[in-house]
Amino acid sequence: MVVALTGCKGVHLVTSAGYAALDAAEDREVSPIEQQLRDAEAQWRGTPYRWGGLSQEGIDCSGFVMTVYQDVFDLPLPRTTLAQVETGEAVSADALQAGDLVFFRTSRRTRHVGIYLGAGEFAHASTSQGVMTSRLDNAYWQKTYWTSRRILPTALAETEAAAPRPRPSKKPPSTRRTGWR
């Protein structure tokens, strides 16, 4: 229960029975996007939580989401949870797909964000455990669930995810501040 009480300084999702069917399918097909996200989470797993951090020495929840999206999909996201929740399109909890962002209100003034992986799991930076994977059917996450957003374009999800996207050529860095980190 201690692990569940973490967040980044109630709507119910799917019942445990709903995810049990997914868990029972040991040979379920994993989408290319889910595999890329699980690989990215594995590279960051155990990285300690640090508010404002953006490195393997420490990272916060919105920084983790921003960094993974940049590294895996070459898509820039805003730096903060409150800016990220304004991005993309709203998606209902029962229609989540790998790559969707899941948001939580962990206290009156605190919000938390993670990346949905599939099979009822999401990756996030926990204040007590660092980067980890948790289940959405956990009572704490169900109680604090706020909303979900779809960031990845449908075309990317359906066609480009099977093969890694080529990186654009490196241009000299811009001196103009864009508000993105």
Residue 141 lies in a domain: yes
Which CATH number fits the domain that encloses residue 126? 3.90.1720.10
In a domain, 179, yes or no: no
List the domain range (segments joined by +) for residue 141. Answer: 30-160
Per the domain annotation, does 25 fall within a domain?
no
147 inside domain = yes
Residue 41, number of CB atoms within 10 A of its CB: 21
> For the chain, how many structural domains are there in total?
1
Cβ contacts of 126 within 8 Å, gap of 6 or more: 3, 6, 7, 49, 132, 134
Q: Is 20 within a domain?
A: no
Domain contains 174: no
Note whether 113 and 103 are within 8 A (CB): yes
> Which pLDDT does position 113 carry in this prediction?
98
**39, exposed or middle or buried, with CB in 10 Å at 0-12, 13-18, 19+?**
exposed
Contact 1, 43 (CB under 8 A): no
Token pair belonging to 46: 């155990």
Beta-strand relationship, 145-150 and 101-105: antiparallel
- For 77, the 3-state DSSP assignment is coil
Active site residue 12: no
Identify the active-site residue in 63, 67, 73, 112. 112
CB-count exposure of residue 119 (10 Å: 0-12, 13-18, 19+): middle
Q: Is there a contact between 54 and 181 (Cβ–Cβ < 8 Å)?
A: yes
Has residue 89 been placed in a domain? Answer: yes
pLDDT tens across the length of the chain (181 residues):
333 334 444 333 444 444 444 444 456 899 999 999 999 999 999 999 999 999 999 999 999 999 999 999 999 999 999 999 999 999 999 999 999 999 999 999 999 999 999 999 999 999 999 999 999 999 999 999 999 999 998 545 544 544 555 444 444 443 333 333 3
Domain annotation covers residue 14: no
- 61 given a catalytic annotation: yes
Q: List residues bridging with 125 in a β-sheet.
A: 131
pTM for this one?
0.74
- Which among 33, 65, 84, 124 is annotated as catalytic? 124
Tell me which of 33, 61, 66, 72 is the catalytic residue: 61
